[in-house]
Amino acid sequence: MAQKSFRKSQLVAFNNVAAGHDGVLSDRSGAVVVKPCFQAEIDFYNSAAAHPHVAIYLPAFMGTLQLNSDPDVAATVTPTVAATLTPPNQAAEHQAAPAAVSHAPIVEKAWAPSNGGKITTDLAIVLENVAAPFKKPNILDVKLGARLWDDNAPPAKRAKLDKVAEETTSKPLGFRIAGMRTWQGGTAAAADESSSTLSQDGYKLYDKAYGRQFSAGTVRQGFEDYFLLERDAVAKGPVRKVINRFLEDLEALKFVLEQEESRMYSASLLFVYEGNPDALRDAFITEKEEEMATNGVDSGETHEESEDEDEEQRAAVQALKLIDFAHAEWTPGQGRDENLLHGLGSVIKVLNGLVGGT
């Protein structure tokens, strides 16, 4: 089985994080995400192999790293063996199936960033970078749940998180926008929101304060900003297709979780779609040509042209994943996770409104 090694010079700060803890790393190719974590999150990813219909909606779990401050010792990650997972229905057919893991490899050495982060840990989890296939990924992190703490949380933390929920959309809707980044193109105007900034690579960045300003009645505006829609507009054209795909995935994920007994406190939905309009158009065209080829219709391209295209990275349209499992576990006998499902249902309702539904 192939192995992948890392040294300090090969790990870089990961700049596609829409929300979450500091200290997230990647390799220089951007193919993986190295996220500091606690053992509970590793355990959850390991256990997801026994829940294949849920695992489809998780980033591919590639292994773990043992963090330390030694910059000279190489770290080696042994990729896990991918399993073929059958989606529960056709709505999830365009989701990439993640690797199923029975025993994650432990890596003895890796570089830890000197600037630290919000959590203190010697562990990191190595996941696929869901945004890697996209040329200009627009990324949205939606924190799920009205209750954000698990049973082990001390009273002070419970009170703090309950206060956040009360003051945001978390309590009434079961979700809040935790952060996002949207590509504005080469002629992007200066960011005008106090809680957003414009990066040098043309992205508008929205921090956690942005999502906390909304009420249940105004949170649609956050999704309008994510999909680059005018206020109260009904989505049309390619972005409408993107939203409808997200709706298909959300409905399929909701169905799967309704069959499970789990508790996932402070888990998030990760939305990614192609922010470059030309690349998004090309992705739809490529899909149409592949569909025609599957159905035996001549697309007009030669076999040589088709092989050349296969060697290049195919454009992606969108992806939806469930992430952040520091406070997640399977709970047989306790019923489905109504806290999480409440938020999922609310997100579905908002996106339905963007395409003119109810």
| 147 pLDDT higher than 80 | yes
CA angle 195, 199, 203 (to 5 degrees): 85
Considering only residues 267 and 31, tell me which one the structure prediction assigns the higher pLDDT.
267
**Local confidence band at 68 (pLDDT 50, 70, 90 cut-offs):** low
Structure confidence at residue 311 as a pLDDT band (50, 70, 90): very low
What is the rounded distance in angstroms from the CA atom of residue 202 to the CA atom of residue 69?
A: 34
- Output the CA torsion sign for 308, 309, 314, 315: positive
Which amino acid would we find at residue 37? C
Percent of the chain past pLDDT 70, that is, above it, reads 70
> What local confidence, expressed as pLDDT, does residue 89 receive?
44
Amino acid, res. 72: D
What are 269-294's pLDDT values in tens digits? 999 999 999 999 999 999 888 888 87
Output the pLDDT for position 114: 29
The dihedral formed by the CA atoms of 306, 307, 311 and 317, expressed in degrees to the nearest 10: 20
Per-residue confidence (pLDDT) for residue 108, from 0 to 100:
29
DSSP per-residue codes, 112-157: --TT--SS--SEEEEEE-TTTT-SSEEEEEEEE-S----TT--HHH
The pLDDT value given to residue 66: 78
pLDDT, mean of residues 191-211: 78
Q: At what angle are helices 277-294 and 237-258 packed, to 10 degrees?
A: 70
11 pLDDT band, cuts 50/70/90, is low
Per-residue confidence band for 158, with pLDDT thresholds at 50, 70 and 90: very high
- Ranges of H-type helices in 176-330: 208-212, 220-226, 237-258, 277-294, 303-311
Q: What is the mean pLDDT of the chain?
A: 80
pLDDT digits (tens, 9 = 90+) for 230-265: 999 999 999 999 999 999 999 999 999 999 999 999
| Residue 1 confidence (pLDDT) | 39
% of residues, the chain, pLDDT over 90? 58
pLDDT value at residue 293: 82
Quick one: pLDDT at residue 100? 34
- pLDDT tens digit string along 172-187? 999 999 999 999 985 5
- pTM comes to 0.81
The pLDDT score that the predictor gives to residue 317 is 95
Q: Which is higher by pLDDT, 307 or 264?
A: 264
